[in-house]
Amino acid sequence: MRIPRFLTCIAMKMAFGSGASVFFCASVLTLPMAAQQTSGISSREPVISSSGMRLTSPYRANQVSGASFANSARTYALIKAGNMYLSLQDAIALALENNLDIQVQRYNPMIAGTESKRAKGGGLLRGLDYNIRELPQGVGGPGGPLLTTLGASASLSQVSAASADLAVINQQQTSLSVQSAIPYSGGSPIPAYDPFLNLAINANHTSTPQTSPFTTGTYNLLQNQVSGDGSYGQGFSTGTRFNLSYVANRYNTGSLRADYNPYTTASLGLTITQPLLQGFGIDVNRRFIRIAANEEKIANLVFNQQLITTVSSVIRLYWDLVSLRGDVRVKEQELETAQKLYDDNKQQVDVGTLAPLQLKLAAAEVARAKQDLINSQSLVDQQEIILKNVLTRTGAGDPSLDSVQIIPLDHITVPKSDNLPPVGALVAEALKSRPDLAQAQIEITSAGISLKGSKNELLPQLNVVAGATNNALAGSINPVPPLGSAPGTPRTPDPFLLGGAGAVLSQIFQRNFPDYGIGFQLNIPLRNRVAQADVARDQLQLRQSEVRLKQAQNQVRVEVQNALVTLRRARASYDAAVETRQLQQEALEAEQQRFSVGQSTSFFVIQYERDLAQARSTEVIAMGDYAKAKAALDRALGTTLTSNNISLSEARAGIVLRPPNPIPPGQ
């Protein structure tokens, strides 16, 4: 059922309040039809659906929903008059809805679900993908732009020819696994937990020459046989395997000596095999089920780590864009100041109170300021290209987004103090909160479970096999007289064996002709070098994983401490940059007053203007560095999701219920 858009607006108003829903409703109601068509997506989470009736569904392939490459409605709702007005929270929401790295990880929990299903059926595990992808580094702030090398004055930018610099626009892949790329050994075999049913039916006609008629009464034994058999088997977590089989054969024979023709033979047998050494025990035989359950936990943790990685990178890219646009404003102010100096000098040169050389110096400064502005604006354009690719599914493939300019709505604010707990408490929080550490610990737990199967394979195979079979035979009296008797002489068979299928089943279930048997099977490998090598290697790889986990924990401590130092340094740099900018502003004003009374020259005024422009750029850089340092600390602590109020359920579904932030009036 299609819900009218005005009802959607009413629901949004009830959920979020009238103030927050005004812009969202207006945007939805005014979206073009093309945008509405691309936004008709209820969930980004893949869906597996079964087909067929309950009886036939095990033999039909499950259907996986197709991948969608349409952008969410939020993408177009944020665009107005050719600009995308983007707050930080909207940027994060777009990443959750559209980012393809996150979409790739949405498949992992479902893949882990197939692992559990496979293990419960008695199959071997196929493994998971532990790789996450880092977003491109992007242009960076004004102090470190893409493909550029800055001079000491951070003014002119020169394009670098080094191909290695292209790495900052490419994504990097990182494996979170602490295990070796070579898998652990399979260990002792697992019983097939899924029951199986085998059925067969055959019809045969045979003509067998006989060397003597003594046995069959004829030199050519003709026989028609219809046989059918069925078996049902299953394995259990104790290692027990049982097989129930039923075999029936109906004969119509040309033997003159047979008392029954046609006749039917049948048997119903049960065989139970129980390992006593290798393959014995619930703990050993359910190890893959336990490992698969751990893989489901790991898949969710890897998804969470991808979320942290992507959101943290989006925050960095967003604040870099804010810083770059702030640097553009600095360059615009620098150009305005240089142009004003040129205009003032021109007036004085025209009236003859200033030497023409001063005018040329001012003109050169205007040209330099224009070049700086062009370079700064080009860096903004480069950053926008990267952000569009990160925040949308179509990237540069959507013509409607190609010419859109991103306008950040949020501004960087540096609080007076951070009020952070001691470094020991921060490290303890990181060790507890980081999903990559939790995932590594579960991996080691699974490796220990797998090692039990490897050790069990060292044991000899000792199985007890018990079987019981009930047999039956029934048929009709052969109408042919006994060989050598007068015509009409009746046969005298046992009347107990007369009958058809009913008599056969009656004999089977009354156990008139039972067979019993029990035996032991022993297989002893005399040197057992393969199993010993597997166990030794699995233990070595487990110890390697434990060392890698310790390395990861130590690295987390380093990351937290480094992020804390970086945050403190960024705050100190910002405070120093603010003070420097204020002093440079005062120095320029003083020099301009001296120039106005003829006590200075354009050269010195230009120098002070450059110093002020550099101080302003440094302040912008320091603000951006602080914002990115704060995001880096959240990532090191593993608190990026909670710090930005991200719901895991919304992230999993790719639907962020919060409406877009309203565009400021006048935009």
Largest Cα–Cα separation, the chain:
157
For range 456-474, the mean pLDDT: 96
pLDDT score at 148 = 34
Instruction: Say yes or no to pLDDT of 8 above 60.
Output: no
pLDDT score at 212 = 86
pLDDT for 375-409, tens place per residue? 999 999 999 999 999 999 988 788 888 889 999 99
In contact, 620 and 327? CB cutoff 8 Å: yes
What separation in angstroms does the CA of 56 have from each of 50, 60, 115, 233? Answer: 10, 7, 22, 20
What is the rounded radius of gyration, in angstroms, for the C-alpha atoms of the chain? 41
For range 148-174, the mean pLDDT: 46
> Quick one: which of 140, 184, 132 has its CA closest to 435?
132
For range 4-33, the mean pLDDT: 40
What separation in angstroms does the CA of 653 have from each of 163, 351, 527? Answer: 38, 72, 54
Element spanning 524, H or E: none
Question: DSSP secondary structure string, 46-68?
Answer: --EE--S-TTTGGGSPPEEPPPP
Instruction: Say yes or no to pLDDT of 218 above 90.
Output: no
Whether residue 659 has a cis bond before it, omega within 30° of 0 = no
429: pLDDT confidence band, cut at 50, 70 and 90? very high
On average, the pLDDT of the chain sits at 85
For range 267-287, the mean pLDDT: 95
> Quick one: which of 272, 263, 336 has its CA closest to 498?
263
pLDDT score at 3 = 41
The model's pTM = 0.82
pLDDT score at 154 = 34
pLDDT for 479-500, tens place per residue? 887 776 777 777 788 888 998 9
In contact, 414 and 623? CB cutoff 8 Å: yes
pLDDT score at 666 = 65
667: pLDDT confidence band, cut at 50, 70 and 90? low
For range 153-167, the mean pLDDT: 39
Q: Is 180 exposed, middle or buried (0-12, 13-18, 19+ CB in 10 A)?
A: middle
pLDDT for 441-461, tens place per residue? 999 999 999 999 999 999 999
159: pLDDT confidence band, cut at 50, 70 and 90? very low
pLDDT score at 608 = 86
525: pLDDT confidence band, cut at 50, 70 and 90? very high
Instruction: Say yes or no to pLDDT of 147 above 70.
Output: no
More confident residue, 138 or 499: 499
What is the per-residue burial (b if ≥16 Cβ within 10 Å, else e) of 230-262? ebebbbebbbbbbbebbbbbbbebbbbbbbbbb
pLDDT for 37-85, tens place per residue? 334 455 788 888 877 677 888 888 888 888 888 999 999 999 998 899 9
What separation in angstroms does the CA of 3 have from each of 6, 7, 45, 499, 660? Answer: 9, 7, 21, 70, 20
pLDDT score at 185 = 85
Using DSSP's 3-state secondary structure scheme, residue 255 falls into coil
Q: 554: which 2 tokens?
A: 């130590």
pLDDT for 102-112, tens place per residue? 999 999 999 99
pLDDT score at 33 = 34
pLDDT score at 4 = 43
